[in-house]
């Protein structure tokens, strides 16, 4: 994430899951030519002055395009009002996934503003990219629909929550009226292995995840999140939410022998699916980390025992 004095850069991600026309009982595996054909559609939907992140197609997993601030392309893509709040936009595509990142500078947490930006950016992503590249009748990779959801990462977000709690306490307001209690949420640990060794000496580093029907907001402790943990959040959203929704709509069309209808709105059951996958992923990662740490301890103590035994033998002689 970007750092500049008191400015924080919120990372607003619009996540897209592509549903191909012949996706019914199995996931369609695309060859390289098909992926490049879809990437070309995305390129054609973007303004002409975009920046290709890499000219080498094999250098990056995702094919990426970028719209930078103060350019006609960014203003054309977002409009004059929204573009004034966005530093840059990055569009990445791979296989069934499209991830659009809006970098939004903020000085302080303002949830109404972020909700407005979430709605505006999602609308722009759908109208300017998802809908134009969707064409069920296209003979090359016909796209039926692109499911979408928002993920927002807020640097220093837990500090904002703590400040809110202090303001509530100072004003005599009950803590039940805080951001924490506006919708479902959970804390997720973000620890490096070397930090786990001294975890008992201090409060563990953790982020707060706020799950709601329109988006997931991650209130970060510090300015960044561990890349493996961010990947776990993305996987939970995709496999617990977007893919589940896509499969249910496809199955309903086949089983009920009716036209396909995309429900691009989450339910509380969708949120619970995301929660369970996220928690299971974090538990599995923690168990693996503990196992690896115990293995290292075992090797260390075994080596120490050999050294101690050798010293004892030398002393006896």
Q: How much is the pLDDT for 201? A: 54
Q: How much is the pLDDT for 1? A: 46
**Three-class DSSP category at 119:** helix
Q: How much is the pLDDT for 105? A: 94
How many alpha carbons lie under 13 Å from residue 189 in its C-beta half-sphere?
A: 18
Q: How much is the pLDDT for 292? A: 43
Q: What is the dihedral of CA 283, 284, 286, 289, to 10 degrees?
A: 170
b/e map 98-119, b = 16+ CB within 10 Å:
bbbbbbbebeebeeeebbebbe
Contact in structure between 188 and 282 (CB atoms under 8 Å): yes
CA angle 72–47–86, rounded 5-degree value: 55
Contact in structure between 9 and 2 (CB atoms under 8 Å): yes
Of 149, 121, 146, the closest CA to residue 135 belongs to: 146
**Going by C-beta distance under 8 Å and a sequence separation of 6 or more, which residues neighbour residue 220?**
153, 154, 155, 156, 157, 158, 207
Q: How much is the pLDDT for 57? A: 57
Q: How much is the pLDDT for 139? A: 65
Q: Cα separation of 117 and 134, whole Å?
A: 24
* Whole-prediction pTM: 0.83
Contact in structure between 76 and 106 (CB atoms under 8 Å): no
Q: Where are the domains of the chain?
A: 3-225
Q: Mean pLDDT by 10-residue block, N- to C-terminus, for the chain (317 residues)?
A: 68 95 62 86 88 64 86 86 91 94 90 93 95 79 92 93 87 87 86 53 79 94 91 94 91 84 87 91 60 50 67 69
3-state helix, strand, coil in the chain (%, to 5): 50, 20, 30
b/e map 266-297, b = 16+ CB within 10 Å:
beeebbebbbebbeebbeeeeeeeeeeeeeee
Residues in a beta bridge with 134: none
Q: How much is the pLDDT for 2? A: 44
The helices-and-strands tally (H runs, E runs) of the chain is 10, 10
Q: How much is the pLDDT for 59? A: 59
């Amino acid at each position: 994430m970007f750092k500049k004095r008191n400015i924080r850069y919120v990372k607003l991600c619009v996540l897209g899951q592509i549903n191909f026309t012949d996706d019914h009982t199995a996931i369609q595996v695309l060859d390289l030519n098909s992926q490049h054909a879809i990437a070309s559609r995305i390129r054609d939907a973007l303004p002409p002055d975009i920046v290709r992140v890499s000219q080498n197609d094999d250098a990056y997993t995702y094919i990426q395009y970028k719209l930078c601030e103060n350019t006609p392309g960014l203003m054309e893509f977002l409009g004059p009002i929204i573009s004034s709040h966005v530093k840059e936009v990055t569009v990445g595509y791979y296989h069934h996934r499209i991830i659009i990142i809006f970098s939004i500078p903020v000085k302080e947490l303002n949830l109404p503003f972020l909700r407005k930006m979430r709605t505006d950016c999602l609308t722009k992503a759908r109208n300017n990219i998802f809908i134009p590249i969707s064409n069920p009748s296209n003979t090359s990779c016909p796209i039926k629909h692109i499911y979408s959801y928002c993920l927002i990462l807020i640097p220093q977000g837990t500090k904002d929550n703590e400040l809110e709690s202090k303001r509530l306490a100072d004003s005599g307001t009950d803590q039940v009226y805080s951001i924490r209690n506006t919708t479902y949420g959970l804390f997720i640990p973000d620890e490096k292995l070397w930090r786990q060794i001294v975890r008992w000496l201090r409060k563990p580093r953790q982020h707060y995840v706020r799950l709601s029907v329109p988006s997931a907001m991650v209130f970060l402790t510090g300015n960044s999140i561990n890349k493996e943990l961010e990947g776990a959040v993305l996987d939970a959203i995709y496999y617990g939410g977007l893919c589940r929704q896509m499969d249910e709509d496809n199955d309903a069309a086949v089983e009920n022998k009716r036209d396909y209808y995309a429900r691009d709105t989450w339910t509380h059951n969708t949120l619970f699916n995301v929660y369970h996958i996220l928690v299971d992923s974090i538990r599995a990662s923690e168990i693996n980390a503990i196992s690896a740490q115990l293995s290292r301890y075992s090797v260390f103590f075994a080596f120490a025992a050999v050294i101690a035994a050798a010293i004892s033998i030398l002393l006896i002689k």
